[in-house]
């Protein structure tokens, strides 16, 4: 191939590659992301005129909040205490109980609460146990024994829980994964034999907080002042804010068939973005790293699909975790990172892109650094110097290949 046409072809190739390195247009977001009108105000673009370190994102987010249903008081709201119907140790189907009477061999035994929620004793009609305390069930057993003619006087009956069974409850509303969840129970490899052989049982595995976390954890827009619990056709309201803020909360024991609904305040609440018993256990991020200096995820220690970060982590923390920051300043200073998220209330996607060095240099503007949400994705883009070096490499390879063609 003649040298001049070859040079022309290489020049055209270089021009075409360079044309592809121009600045990409901003994403066509549906929501007003750049102005702070998306799920997080932290998504908005930097405003050059803002020179003072005044954090505004939390105020912007709060301005869209509906008043909490349970009132503004923390620890003293109208739903801060559980109603008597929900207090204490309650039974559900599958629970193992020990029933004992003095000097008795006919009724003293261990029983499992039946699927229909009743305690079935020999010779007696089924006794309702679902949603009731062992003490209440024991009183009914005493009355049934007298009514059946087995005792002339009311006997002393003891009903003790030997093992709590798992319970399936439905969770909906402002949680990340609304669905029916199974809570409670102990895996076979974690059974404590000494506890299993002792009378009585205690478990936190069927608490309300466990169900909320089992449904992916509460979202940042959740109204924790008025969590709804429906049991047997009756709905109760519970203020669960104490779980986050360090005071008592009505973390009641649930039973099979309970329905939980978490209302929304229709706004992003920064103070909910912290690890807690009702928050997501962590965040799984989908990551795409740089071409340079690592040319594959394995080389940069990034997993095949996702990497875990703590709940409450921010965008720049994940960018650092994704090996997008640092290196030679001459070749790395103009990198950028894109965050792909989704509004959990509207299911609308959001895309933002940040110049990494601008974010690094503006530590006084923390309110432009978004919190990460479960399922977010982050992509890093190389600097312009790296792009030009890559162009040169490609042109060199193509040119060398063309020269050897007869």
**What is the model's pLDDT at position 305?**
56
The mean per-residue pLDDT over the stretch 90-107 comes to: 92
pLDDT, tens digit (0-9, with 9 covering 90-100), for 255-274: 999 999 999 999 999 999 99
Pair of tokens at residue 170? 């439905």
The confidence band for 26, taking pLDDT boundaries of 50, 70 and 90, is: confident
Q: What residue spans define the domains of the chain? A: 3-65+279-390, 96-163, 167-191+204-266
At 72 the pLDDT is 82
Do residues 170 and 212 make contact, with C-beta atoms less than 8 angstroms apart? Answer: no
- With a cut of 80, say whether residue 330 has pLDDT above it: no
Q: How confident is the model over 29-56, as a mean pLDDT?
A: 83
CA distances to 130, 141, 160, 165, 203 from 186, in Å: 20, 29, 18, 8, 9
Look at residue 388 in the predicted model and tell me its pLDDT.
Answer: 47
pTM above 0.85, yes or no: no
Least confident of 36-50, 110-124, 343-357: 36-50
Average pLDDT, the chain: 83
300-321 pLDDT, tens digit each: 555 555 678 899 999 999 888 8
Say which CATH topology domain 167-191+204-266 has: Outer membrane lipoprotein wza fold like (3.10.560)
Query: Greater confidence, 358 or 376?
Result: 376
CATH number belonging to the domain at 96-163, selected among 3.40.50.300, 3.40.50.1390, 3.30.1950.10, 3.40.50.2000: 3.30.1950.10
Structure tokens at 279: 């928050």
> Is residue 136 within 8 Å of 85, Cβ to Cβ?
no
The answer to whether residue 13 scores a pLDDT higher than 50 is no
Q: What is the pLDDT of residue 299?
A: 55
Rama region for 262: left / alpha / beta (φ>0; ψ in -120 to 50; rest)? beta
* Closest C-alpha to 74, from 195, 238, 239, 204: 239
Residue 17 has what pLDDT?
47
Predicted pLDDT of residue 338: 92
Task: State how far the Cα of 94 lies from the Cα of 319, in Å rounded to an integer.
Answer: 48
Task: Round to whole Å and give the CA distance between 309 and 287.
Answer: 12
- Measured CA to CA, the distance from residue 251 to residue 86 in angstroms comes to 10
Contact 142, 161 (CB under 8 A): no
Of 254, 253, 223, 255, the closest CA to residue 239 belongs to 223
**CA-based angle 148:150:152, to the nearest 5?**
100
What's the confidence (pLDDT) of residue 80?
86
Mean predicted confidence (pLDDT) in 128-145: 95
Residues 57-97 pLDDT 10s: 999 999 999 999 998 876 667 888 899 889 888 999 999 99
**Torsion 109-115-119-121 (CA) sign:** negative
**Model confidence band, residue 33 (pLDDT cutoffs 50, 70, 90):** very high
């Amino acid at each position: 191939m003649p040298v001049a046409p070859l040079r022309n072809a290489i020049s055209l190739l270089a021009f075409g590659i360079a044309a592809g390195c121009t600045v990409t247009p901003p994403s066509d977001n549906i929501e007003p992301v750049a102005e702070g009108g998306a799920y997080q105000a932290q998504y908005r673009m930097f405003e050059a005129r803002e020179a003072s370190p005044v954090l505004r994102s939390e105020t912007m987010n709060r301005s869209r909040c509906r008043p909490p249903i349970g009132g503004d008081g923390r620890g003293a709201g109208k739903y801060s205490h559980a109603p008597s119907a929900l207090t204490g140790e309650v039974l559900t189907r599958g629970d193992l109980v020990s029933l004992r009477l003095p000097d008795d061999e006919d009724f003293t035994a261990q029983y499992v609460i039946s699927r229909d929620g009743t305690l079935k004793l020999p010779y007696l009609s089924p006794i309702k146990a679902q949603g009731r305390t062992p003490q209440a069930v024991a009183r009914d057993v005493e009355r049934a024994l007298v009514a059946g003619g087995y005792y002339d006087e009311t006997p002393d009956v003891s009903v003790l829980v030997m093992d709590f069974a798992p319970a399936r409850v439905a969770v909906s509303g402002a949680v990340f994964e609304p669905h029916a969840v199974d809570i409670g129970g102990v895996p076979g490899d974690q059974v404590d034999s000494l506890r299993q052989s002792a009378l009585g049982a205690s478990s936190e595995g069927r608490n309300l907080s466990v169900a909320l976390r089992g449904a992916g954890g509460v979202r940042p827009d959740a109204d924790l002042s008025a969590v709804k619990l429906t049991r047997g056709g009756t709905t109760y309201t519970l203020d669960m804010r104490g779980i986050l803020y360090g005071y008592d909360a009505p973390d009641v024991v649930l039973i099979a068939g309970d329905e939980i609904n978490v209302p929304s305040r229709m706004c992003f609440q920064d103070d909910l973005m912290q690890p807690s018993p009702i928050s997501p256990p962590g965040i799984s991020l989908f990551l795409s790293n740089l071409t340079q200096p690592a040319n594959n995820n394995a080389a940069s220690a990034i997993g095949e699909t996702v990497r875990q970060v703590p709940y409450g982590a921010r965008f720049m923390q994940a960018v650092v975790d994704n090996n997008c920051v640092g290196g030679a300043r001459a070749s790395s200073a103009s990198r950028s990172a894109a965050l792909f998220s989704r509004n959990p209330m509207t299911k609308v996607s959001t895309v933002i892109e940040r110049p990494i060095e601008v974010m690094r240099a503006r530590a006084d503007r923390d309110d432009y650094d978004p919190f990460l949400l479960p399922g977010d994705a982050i992509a890093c883009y190389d600097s312009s110097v790296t792009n030009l070096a890559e162009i040169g490499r490609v042109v060199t390879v193509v040119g060398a290949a063309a020269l050897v063609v007869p």
